[in-house]
Amino acid sequence: MCGICGKLATGGNGIDRELLKRMCDSFAYRGPDDEGIYLSKNVGLGHRRLSIIDLSPAGHQPMSNEDGTIRLVFNGEIYDFENLRRKLISKGHDLKSRTDSETIIHLYEEEGTDCVRHLNGMFAFALWDEKRQRLWLARDRVGIKPLHYYWDNRRFLFASEIKAILLDPDVQREIDPEALDLYLTLSYIPAPRTIFKNIRKLLPGTSLVFENGTLTFETYWDLEKERTQSFEQGDLDQDLPFLTDRLRGLLEESVKRRLISDVPLGAFLSGGLDSSIIVALMARNSSRPIKTFSIGYKDLPAFDETAYAREVARFNKTDHHEFKLGYKDILDVFPRVLENVDEPFADSSAVPTYIVSKETREHVTVALSGDGGDELFAGYRMYLGEYWAKHYSKLPRFAREGLIAPLIQALPDSRDNPRLEMIRRMKKFVRGMSSSFSDRFCGWREIFPFPLRQKLHHHPLPENFYLAHIKDLVSKKKPWFGNDSVNLMLYMDMKGLLPGDMLTKVDRMSMANSLEVRVPFLDHTFVEFAFQLAGNLKLKARGGKYILLEAFKDYLPPMIHNRPKWGFEMPIGAWLRKELSFLIDEYLDEGHIQKQGLFHSGVIRGLVADHMAGRQDTSWQLWNLIVFQHWYGRYMP
């Protein structure tokens, strides 16, 4: 795993080596083992290396072909590179290393940019073709690895992280108002936008070519292109044994591919279904006990999952490591966590992810995780809301809107109490409930609902920008899924939530600790098969992941079979009321908010009052604003 960056200047302006050096230094933690820079007349490439495959100097980057006319900087892993390497050698190519990176150069010589279709892995890379004066960037199919770029019609820059691009003094720091609205809506900013105008994220499954002064984009992979058949609930009796066997086989092969490493590896183990399955498959395919790592919370049993993780570790005879957090641990790492995100990013689980990555790195260099299982098999509560929506909508309108919704909205709620948390979920369900799929999806995803965003922002957008985006996406993609609203919802989260939030969190927090994280659920062969399964094979009345549990129930201890979904959340609601309340005083000070001029301080004051009085849990909204203010103070003059 590595960090990459580069610059291409038009008009013969040349490239500053010192700028490239500073760009590389800005994310040195992504690659503490080596650094390399390549300069030619009008292009520069930079690389920081975390050595995983072929630890020798032969893996130094930027890497070139035999005559030096092609140069590559690469971040990620290609899992089938040995097969590709043998084929290339048989065709006469001279490969100087055992690295996966080098195969891309010679595949490009054979097939041009179409060669990306042969790559199975997680990656973001840039290739410079000197003869064609062509710069080619590509990002993996589901967006596991990040890639950002800037283009102002005179200079083109790219980097693994935004902060590297901002080191160029000619790059302006101007907030994109639509990106800010998306952040308030979601607590992250989905691709292709970033918080900055003119800086963009390359979309997953997409390549970019800069040639003859022009940018062109190509989507080389999309789920809809691969969904050629669908296994339906009506065939369940005859197909279930085949489908579960196929699921086991594909996921086990994915895990095996991700066990290839020249350095020690282990696994994150939350005790949830997904990570438990990955650990079970690792244990079945390892000759020695695997190392597993879990995090829990001191004195907050509702947020602590370590008992489940310990049982999975015992069941699989792993070498288990457990860490318990308190609010002081959060305070210690809070600044470091936020320093490693270059735009506002308010998923509170980034903090425990940072800590578990830091502790894990003390023992291994590579860790496998269960990310992606929720988005493939309907693991989130929001999907269960879609299941019950059709039943709730059958109630008379006067009962829904005149009785049930007002009653529920009037009740107090809190994430810290199981009964009040149930009320909070009910509130969100009825608030987002609509006969329109797009309205439901948007309503259940929003952190700040649109009316509240309108009140909060001094200069609100004239329409619900996120809802407009969702409606446009649904109109384009719904024909592929027909009446299968569950898979349509999963597809949209595969395109938005997964790369924008979940994978961003894991990449930033793990790489900040020089730890590579691999995600077996997101092998594209497994993803494609998962989306051939109809939604009613995934989601039932009690929750999601039905067929996944059927496939792997014998691999799991019984206590995991029916355990409730919680997630890797931080108990931010309880801590903001007590131990972390000073963050509200520091970052949401009324005078500071008024001076900044972005938000109405009275709205924020109301959110704080509701949370502190226990009338409504607004902790996610407050955390969203705290994170934004911290980011703003660091990045905006």
Are the beta carbons of 413 and 423 closer than 8 angstroms? yes
Q: pLDDT at position 13, please?
A: 72
The DSSP H or E segment spanning 323 is strand 319-325
Give catalytic residue positions: 2
The DSSP H or E segment spanning 631 is helix 619-635
Strands 43-49 and 34-39 come out as antiparallel
Q: Please give the Cα distance from 233 to 214 (Å, whole number).
A: 48
Q: Please give the Cα distance from 522 to 278 (Å, whole number).
A: 12
Which distant-in-sequence residues (6+ apart) come within 8 Å of 384 by Cβ?
378, 539, 543, 544
Q: Which of 245, 72, 77, 217 is nearest to 149 (CA)?
A: 217
Q: pLDDT at position 414, please?
A: 74
- Looking up tokens 């490693």 gives 340
Are the beta carbons of 100 and 121 closer than 8 angstroms? yes
Q: pLDDT at position 54, please?
A: 64
Angle in degrees, CA 30, 34, 36, rounded to 5: 100
Q: pLDDT at position 229, please?
A: 55
- For residue 464, what is the DSSP state? -
Q: pLDDT at position 130, please?
A: 94
Q: pLDDT at position 97, please?
A: 84
The DSSP H or E segment spanning 40 is none
Are the beta carbons of 104 and 115 closer than 8 angstroms? yes
- For residue 402, what is the DSSP state? I
Q: pLDDT at position 411, please?
A: 78
Q: pLDDT at position 420, please?
A: 74
Q: Which of 181, 171, 176 is nearest to 196 (CA)?
A: 176
Q: Please give the Cα distance from 345 to 352 (Å, whole number).
A: 14
Q: pLDDT at position 200, please?
A: 98
- Looking up tokens 């499954």 gives 205
Q: pLDDT at position 232, please?
A: 58
For 532-584, what is each residue's pLDDT tens digit?
Answer: 999 999 999 888 999 999 999 999 999 888 766 655 566 788 889 988 899 99
User: At how many degrees (to 10) do helices 177-186 and 619-635 cross?
Assistant: 150
H helices, E strands: number in the chain: 30, 17
Q: Which of 130, 110, 126 is nearest to 118 (CA)?
A: 110
Pick out the chain residues at pLDDT < 50. 228
Are the beta carbons of 355 and 514 closer than 8 angstroms? no
To the question of pTM greater than 0.75 for the whole model, the response is yes
Which alpha helices (DSSP H) does 48-171 contain, by range? 81-90, 101-111, 162-166
DSSP sequence for 491-546: HHHHHTHIIIIIHHHHHHHHHTTT-EEE-GGG-HHHHHHHTTB-GGGT-BTTBS-H
DSSP 3-state assignment of 618?
Answer: coil
